[in-house]
Structure 1
Amino acid sequence: MKNQVRIRYKVPLGGMTFLIMMVFTSYVQAQVREISISEALELSYTNNEKVKQYGERVQQKVNEDKAAKGNFLPSLNIVGGYTYLSDNIQVNTSQIQSSLDDLGGKYGAAFVAAYGEHIGLSGVTTESAYSTLVGVLGQFPEYPNMEVNNQQFAVASLSATQPLFTGGKIIAAKKYAKAELRSADIELIQVKNEIANELIERYLNMVLLKQVVKIRQEVYDGMLKHEEQAARAIQLEILPKHVLLRAKVAVADAKKDLENDLNNVELSAMALRTTMNLPDSIPFTVMDSIGFQELYLDFDELLNTAYAKQPVLGLIGQKEEMAKQALAVEKSNFMPNVAAFGSYNMFRQELPIIPPKFMVGLTAQFNLFNGFKDINGLKASKHLQKEVAFAKEYALKQIHLLIQSNYITANNQQKLYNSLTSTVNMAEENLRINTRRFEEGIGKSIDVIDATLLYKKSKIEKLVALDGYYKAVANLYTAIGEPEKIIPILNKSASL
């Protein structure tokens, strides 16, 4: 039997760790989710706390609007309680003595009329009996106070009140609540517009930085290759030794720029993650690049859209309505308040003084003087209307300026991008020629380095111009109240 030989390979601990990290990195990269700008915007709308906050405010105003409707309906209340008196209730007979004498005279006259012949008073008339008895009773001393023997009792009543006329106060309050609800809706739209603008800007930042990193990597790889070529040429004594030092400096600069922009990519991802409110446990990336798409922007059309859809103007419009209704409320203070009321008393028989079962009626209230409070309130409401009018005029001017500035910026960035296209092409050709000349031994190393830096600079400037163009368009659409209008444009540009 042949001996079996087992060969064991010893892998260093550092090498094993490196292999494990490579496998783990490959697994994580496979799990990275590429998020389109449409998906990123939807995540922001769904997860952002500020959007949730203003969504709750809308629901609050919905319920307040419903509550304002209740002012048109009757109010129904049940009142109950328990009362304990330290002493019995007393009736002050001195104040009703004449009434008691009159009552005694009437009862006595009735008795004489019914039983006079039985007691020997058959000839006495009712009138003479009444006057005689009242006269006699008037000579008696004052009656002692009468007590109601009930020191504790329960009370309960059911009452209803229906406003009939309030001078327009209830109607104004309802319209005011409706304006507040509309304002809350517009504020939610405004917040979502701000979130959309922030999301688009941060998303474009990350796309730009990813493209810049690619250029930095190309430059770094090119500088490494040039360093190798320069070292080989020095070995062949074609170039002096100091040329290699310049090439090494160029490699170090390219590496520094690459690492710096890699850090910027990480920072931009953190900012974008915050806007989307995406957990740190979910890795993500964005689209690799965005191509140029020329857009036709009509200034007058954009301005008219802003006047119709800009949330700021919508909010001012609702402020105008609220100021109008506030004035109506102040005017209603100079009108009477009329209401119908009714009540039903329970536990009547247990009360010291028995009230009727039902009471219905009308009540009217008109204020005669309250320290000039109503007059000053009316004046304040008129000044509020003027304040809102001035705010609207100012907002219109600011929106016009905002749209005009972003419109000019977008057009300038578009022109800059188009002009840089030819610059990048010439810089690329210049790099190709100088690289070829160096490889053939008739060019200088410094020319290759300068051509590489010039090409990198022009290409990055072109990317920055494209980024500025789309950001200006995004700001322009946000200014007119339609920030999402740029989303399909960017999605289409990603495939160019």
Structure 2
Amino acid sequence: MESNKLKIVPILKIAICILFFNSTVANAQQLTLRKAYELMLENNGEIKASSFDVKSMEEEQKATKGLRLPTVSVSGTYLNLDKDISANLNTERDMVGGLLGIPDPASILGDWNFSLLDKNVGFASADITMPLYAGGKINAANKASKIKLDLSENKHQLKEDDLTINLITSFYRLKLAQEAENLRKEVYETVLLHSKQADKFFENGIIPEVETLNAKVALSNANRELLAAKKDVELATTALKNLIGIDSLETISIALNSPSILKPVDQFQDQMLKENIQLKTIENNKQLAKVGVQVENSDYFPKVGVFGKYLFWKDNLPLASTKWLAGISLEWELFNGFQREHKIKAAKHKVSQLEALDKQARLNLTTYTKKLYNEIEKQLEQIKSLKTDETFAKKLKFMRTRAFEEGTGTSLEVVDATLKLNEIKLHKIKALYLYNIAYGELMVRIGETESFLNEN
């Protein structure tokens, strides 16, 4: 008895593990919108490329900070001339000898042919330079690098938002295709059952043969539409897999949410103008243009710096007796052909240009928000109307089917009622699809991506 218990325990453990594994696999196959979003951020090549641009600008900003620090370098030179550099003063020596009454200046005063520099000469030095004042150009460069980093981050966010909207559209398009396939399958099965009933009624002499032919034509059409719906599902699945970077996709877990608008359009518009990345990008470019004006103005001021040099090795340099030197340098360009004035005006025109773009962008975004909001309201009205139509169509189908079964209705009437109900259902799920993608796009553009993902 004890041995049997020992055998049962491992079997139970194995069974529990199998159940747990199957449950895990089943859950893994259910791809949610949030999980798809995370996979897209992790795998999409465009987002990866954009993130590298941000990292590059981070390093550029760090490099710009180095403008405030001293520059230290080591340099060396070795020369080989065709001959020594010398100064022959023997003529001057003879003249001096004549003035002094020396009969033989060469023997008394010696050879005045001096070697100033050997033909082989070399030296090496360590140098240091550091700017003290550049008219504000260094501060402007650091401001510009920070703004450029912000611009790269905005560009990355815009790319992420664009792809997120594509993801929402692709995800709901797949859901729409699946729902359409289910409806087409339901229609096919309904028409198939009706066709079989029509055959039986014809065999029993209840209906004429023409009614069976109508049913067969409707069945063929339903089968063709079902095959087309399956292809739509395959295409939507492939598009979604490519976007999020996965090889296989079994099922998705998402509902076509019931429409609701929580706040009026003006609140959405205010949030759009406050949070939209495009406006932030224009503002950053405007700040960058203002920094450009500061850079051009800096040319009116002198540039001041310090420098130092240490000569730690020399060869055949008799004239260079010192080992180090230090000093301060100043450069002040007083006139450059009015280049500065025109460059400043050009930089100011750039600021004005961006101010005009900002004004127009705000108008465009206000209109864009209203457009999305109107689309949401339109689909709300469509769904409300289609729900009423669906109720009537279901009742009509029921009545047409009963009339056909009692021999007082025709096959065409049943098929027509079935297709009408299916058409209304398709319109309803399409309206739900359009509502969800319009609402999703609006939420992404106002910076509420996380909020939208939490709703799905």
Aligned equivalents of 1:45, 1:294: Cα separation in 2: 29
Alignment correspondent of 1:60: 56
After the TM superposition, which residues 37-436 of structure 1 pair with which residues of structure 2 at under 5 Å, given as runs? Answer: 37-91=33-87, 93=89, 136=100, 144-148=112-116, 150-279=118-247, 282-287=248-253, 289-348=255-314, 350-436=316-402
The residue matched to 1:35 in structure 2 has which SS? strand
Deviating beyond 4 angstroms after TM superposition, the runs of 4 or more aligned structure 1 residues are: 29-32, 92-95, 137-145
How far apart, in 1, do the equivalents of 2:58 and 2:102 lie?
A: 71
Q: How big is each residue's C-alpha offset from its partner over 1:115-169, in whole Å with a ceiling of 9 and x where there is no partner?
A: xxxxxxxxxxxxxxxxxx9973999799844213622122111111111110000
Distance 1:176 1:30, change over 3 A: closer
Q: Percent identity?
A: 28
Q: Out of 388, 409, 412, which is 1:443 matched to?
A: 409
Shift of 1:93: 4.9
Q: Give the direction of change, closer, same or farther, for the CA distance of 1:430–1:240 in structure 2 (3 Å limit).
A: same
CA–CA separation in structure 2 for the residues paired with 1:371 and 1:152: 45
User: Which deviates more, 254-263 or 270-279?
Assistant: 270-279
Distance 1:361 1:256, change over 3 A: same
Distance 1:288 1:436, change over 3 A: farther
Q: 1:74-104: per-residue Cα shift (whole Å, max 9, x none)?
A: 1111111211111112247599x79xx8xxx
CA distance in 1, matches of 2:102, 2:338: 54
Alignment partners' CA distance in 2, 1:176 and 1:30: 52
Structure 2 alignment gaps of length 5 or more: 1-24
- Matching residue of 1:471: 437
- Residues 413 and 469, structure 1, Cα contact 8 Å, conserved in 2: yes
TM-score (norm 1): 0.81
Contact 1:402 1:479 in 2 (8 A): no
Distance 1:176 1:137, change over 3 A: farther
Q: Deviations over 1:207-231 (max 9, x none)?
A: 0110111111111001011111111
CA apart distance, 1:62: 0.4
Contact persistence 2:117–2:317 (CA under 8 A): no
Distance 2:372 2:257 in 1: 21
Match of 1:481 in 2: 447
SS in 2 for 1:275: helix
RMSD: 2.6
2:452 is aligned with 1:456: no
Corresponding residue SS for 2:253: coil
Cα offset, 1:333, TM superposition: 1.4
Q: Name the amino acid aligned to 2:271.
A: T
CA distance in 2, matches of 1:381, 1:170: 18
Match of 1:368, SS state, is coil
Per the alignment, in what secondary structure is the counterpart of residue 73 of structure 2? strand
**1:494 equivalent in structure 2:** none
Give the unaligned 5+ runs of structure 1.
1-28, 102-132, 492-496
Paired residues, number: 427
Alpha-carbon distance, 1:313 to partner: 0.8
TM-score by length of 2: 0.88
Letter of the aligned partner of 2:349 in structure 1? H
Distance 2:44 2:29 in 1: 19
CA distance in 2, matches of 1:194, 1:446: 47
